[in-house]
Every structure is written in C-alpha cells, then in structure tokens.
Amino acid sequence: MEKRSHHRDRIKFSLKMKKEYTILTPSMAPIHFKILRPILLRQGFNVDIIDAEGPEVLQLALKYLHNDMCYPAMLTTGQMLAAITSGKYDPDKVAMVITQSGGGCRDSNYIHLMRKAFEKAGYPNVPFISANIWALELSPGVNPSPRTLLMAVAGLIYGDMIMILSNQVRPYEVNKGETDAMIDKWTDKIGKIFSRGKGFTVGAIKKTLKAIADDFASIKIEKTPKVKVALIGELFLKYSDPGNNHLEKFLAEQDCEVYVPSILGFGIYKTNGALEDLRLYGGNPIKRAVLEIAMKYMFFMEDILISAIEANPRFVAPERVNDLKKRAEGVIGIGNSMGEGWYLAAEMLEFADNGYENIVIVQPFGCLPCHVAAKGMINKVRRIDPRLNVVDIEYDPGATKVNQENRIKLMLVVAKEKL
C-alpha cells in the first residue's frame, strides 16, 4: 500500500465509498449507540461499533501516539487500530468516524492525531469522518437528510430516557435481570421503528416516552436503602465502559444506585456555550441565528424528555439546563464553557439536592478544563453544600483500575456511614 505524505490533502469520504465501505466508530454510550445505528443503516451507511478494550488496545495506540496524549484519544485510536488489524475488515474498504468538538478541548485535534497514527501503522488511505456541528471537515459522502437528523435527536432522547430510568430501577428489582431485558426490548423496538422511518415526530416521541416510563415503572422493586452516586465528568469517560473501566458495573457491585446525566443536557450546554462566546466576544450573526434556532428546538425536546420522567413520581428527572445555569451563577463564570466548564459545578449542586450527594468525577489525566472546572471547584462547591462527598478519578494508560477503585471505595465508606 502506498504511503501517503502528511502534506497531501486528507482523503475525503465520498458517495462511492458510502456504498462500499464499512464505517467504524468507537463505542461510547451503549444504549444510545444501539438506538442510533438503525438510523444510519437506513440512510445507507454501513456502520459497525467498536468495543475493543484491554491493555493490548492501549499498547497498540502507544506504538503510534505519544504517551502524553489525552486518554480518550489514546483509547479510541487503539480501538480503531485493533479493529483494522483484526482481519474482520478489508483495510481498503473501511472508514473511521470520530467527533470534533470545535472548541479548545483536545478532542478537536483527535482526528489529526489518528490520521498520523494510521499512516505510521501502514494504513494511510483510510478516510476519517469528522462528526461535528461546526462544518469543520465536510465529506461529500456524509449527506444526512433532515429526517435522519431529526431521528438522531429523537434517538438521543430515547437513549437518555432508557438510561436514566433503568439506572433507577435495576438496583432495586426483585427479579434480577428484568431491567436489562426491558432495555433490550426497547432498544430493539425503537430500532425497528426507526428502520421504518418513523418515531421522530413530537407526537410519536411523547407517546413512546410514556410507554417506556410505564414499562419501567411496572418492574417490581423492593426499595431498600442504598448509597446513591452521581457519575459526572468528561463526556467520553462518563459514558464509555471501556473508558471508565466499567465504573457503573463496579458501583453496582458496591450496592449503589448510579445516576448518569443525559446526553441531551450536555448538548444543550455546549450549544449554550457557543452562544455565550458569541455574546461575550462577538462573531458571525448568521451563526448566532442558527444556534439560537437550534437552542430553541433542543429546549423544546428537553422539556418533552423531562416532563415524561416527572410525570411518574417514582423517577428522578434531570434538571433543565437553564436551571443548572442559575445554580452556576456566582459559583463559576458562565463564560467558562471549555470542556465541561460551569456544567460540572452546577451538576454537583443539582445532585446533592436530589439525593445523590456522593459524586464520582471522571477526567483524563492532564485535562486542563477538567482540572479547573472539576478539581478546582470541589472545595468551593463543598463550602456551598457540605453534604457533598466527592472524589475525582483520573484516567491514563498508566493509571491502574485497582487504584481507581480503591479511591472510590474510600468515598463510599464515608457515604455508607452517612447512610
């Protein structure tokens, strides 16, 4: 295979490739990704989700990346390399997709590092697709229809609903495994609805969310006292099982109930951050107008999701982002929207008020935005609400799972004493 020079133009994913290539994406939020995949298949994309993990995956990344790279970049690069070297795929008929945040987070540069890593590994002709809303890297073969985009938003809402409700039911279920069976039932059902091109209208979303809530509420539970833990922090590590060393499973084994915030809420926070930047520093008025329209739509969808959860007193709904923003005022600047920014401090205060005063913050080692907005805010937030019992856990190729779990166990000792 001819080696491509760094100075040549990047290989763009074309319409012809769309028909012939398999697109690989590292797994992040398993429920959401399972729901979103049928939408992409219906649009004509042949998508597979990579869930490779383990020391050998990180070692594969370390062969081609510097060891001070951001941990999520390291892990996802290793997963992609593991997939292309597995023999399962034709290296000449495969493409990779990864997000670009468009901000100051190192996530904006992952895609360039990955291209270089693939060149060094001997795969210079693999196209990399950037998934972003800022039109950073356009590919002619990525042409989602408006219906597909609306279905994707609906898929995120369904994923959030199932994730939030299942986490509040599973620790208390009388018949073990019933919650996971309900997750499978609904992810399969929604996938079939999407494959028929339906399920994305406001009426359909409201109807489906009510049905999901009713089904999870029908699971027989025994409400025994348990330590309630909120899991917050850097986006990838918060949702990815390989990324956080299966933290949710570990907390469940410690007899905890875990609350993981919604992906939709984070999307609203990031859109709000872009608007704040435009307000504070100026910028393109057209971009501002587009973002304001997107913001209104997302607020509308957020209200549908939260109202559906609030309708059943058995479940705790996430707070609306505008309410979280009010919590952050006077604590951390609203203009601090780099990475997870003001959102983390607001989440800590939110969860303490909703019974989840024990909090695990996950962050990549060396992530400056997380260190400022998470680690740097813990003491200040504790002074505001002394109920908070917080531990921040850093992830890095050299960090051991045992050390991470031992630090969490120390936090849980305090939590169990309070319980």
Query: Where in the sequence is the domain holding 125, given as residue range(s)?
Result: 15-144
| Section 161-187 average pLDDT | 98
Whether 364 is covered by a domain: the verdict is yes
Contact 331, 384 (CB under 8 A): yes
| Section 322-347 average pLDDT | 91
> Quick check: 311 pLDDT over 50?
yes
Whether 149 is covered by a domain: the verdict is no
Q: Are residues 140 and 237 in the same domain?
A: no
- List all residues 6 or more positions away from 362 whose beta carbon is below 8 Å from its beta carbon: 231, 232, 233, 234, 237, 238, 244, 247, 392, 393, 395
Label residue 2 by pLDDT band (50, 70, 90).
very low
Q: Are residues 88 and 230 in the same domain?
A: no
Q: pLDDT at position 135, please?
A: 66
The most confident of the ranges 64-78, 220-234, 356-370 is 220-234
Higher pLDDT, 30 or 10: 30
Q: pLDDT at position 3, please?
A: 44
Between CA 360 and CA 372 the distance in angstroms is: 16
pLDDT 10s digits, 99-143: 876 666 777 788 988 999 999 999 999 999 988 766 678 788 888
Whether 151 is covered by a domain: the verdict is no
Q: Which of 113, 109, 115 is nearest to 96 (CA)?
A: 115
> Quick check: 6 pLDDT over 50?
no
Q: Looking at 144, 174, 208, which one is the last position of a domain?
A: 144
pLDDT 10s digits, 242-279: 999 999 999 999 999 999 999 999 999 988 888 888 88
Between CA 266 and CA 152 the distance in angstroms is: 15
State which H helix or E strand residue 414 sits in.
helix 401-418
Q: Are residues 250 and 384 in the same domain?
A: yes
Q: Are residues 235 and 130 in the same domain?
A: no
| 67 CB burial (10 A radius; 0-12, 13-18, 19+) | exposed
- DSSP annotation of 91 reads G
For residue 293, CA distances in Å to 334, 354, 360 come to 20, 31, 34
| Section 162-176 average pLDDT | 98
Q: How far is CA 313 from the centre of its chain?
A: 26
Q: pLDDT at position 219, please?
A: 98
> Quick check: 38 pLDDT over 80?
yes
Give the type of residue at 291: L
Q: Are residues 350 and 252 in the same domain?
A: yes
Contact 353, 327 (CB under 8 A): no
Q: Are residues 22 and 139 in the same domain?
A: yes
Whether 344 is covered by a domain: the verdict is yes
Alpha helices in 311-392 (DSSP H): 321-328, 341-353, 368-373, 378-384
| Section 342-361 average pLDDT | 96
| Section 58-80 average pLDDT | 92
Q: Are residues 240 and 130 in the same domain?
A: no
The most confident of the ranges 4-8, 98-102, 322-326 is 322-326
| Section 360-378 average pLDDT | 87
Between CA 419 and CA 416 the distance in angstroms is: 5
Q: pLDDT at position 103, please?
A: 66
Q: Are residues 371 and 238 in the same domain?
A: yes
Q: Looking at 78, 111, 144, which one is the last position of a domain?
A: 144
Q: Looking at 144, 169, 191, which one is the last position of a domain?
A: 144
State which H helix or E strand residue 289 sits in.
helix 285-310
Q: pLDDT at position 102, please?
A: 65
| Section 397-406 average pLDDT | 92
Q: How many domains does the chain have?
A: 2
Lowest-confidence region among 54-58, 272-276, 323-327: 272-276
Contact 184, 280 (CB under 8 A): no
Label residue 374 by pLDDT band (50, 70, 90).
confident
pLDDT 10s digits, 143-165: 888 999 999 999 999 999 999 99
| Section 309-326 average pLDDT | 96
| Section 229-235 average pLDDT | 95
The CATH number for 54's domain is: 3.40.50
Q: Are residues 231 and 139 in the same domain?
A: no
> Quick check: 96 pLDDT over 70?
yes
Whether 59 is covered by a domain: the verdict is yes
Q: Are residues 240 and 119 in the same domain?
A: no
**Residue 6, SS3?**
coil
Whether 406 is covered by a domain: the verdict is yes
Whether 410 is covered by a domain: the verdict is yes
Q: pLDDT at position 67, please?
A: 82
Q: Are residues 29 and 131 in the same domain?
A: yes
**Residue 219, SS3?**
coil
Q: Provide the mean pLDDT of the chain.
A: 92
Whether 89 is covered by a domain: the verdict is yes
The CATH number for 232's domain is: 3.40.50.11900
Contact 205, 154 (CB under 8 A): yes
Q: Are residues 136 and 229 in the same domain?
A: no
Sheet holding 22-26: strands in order across? 46-50, 22-26, 94-99, 128-131
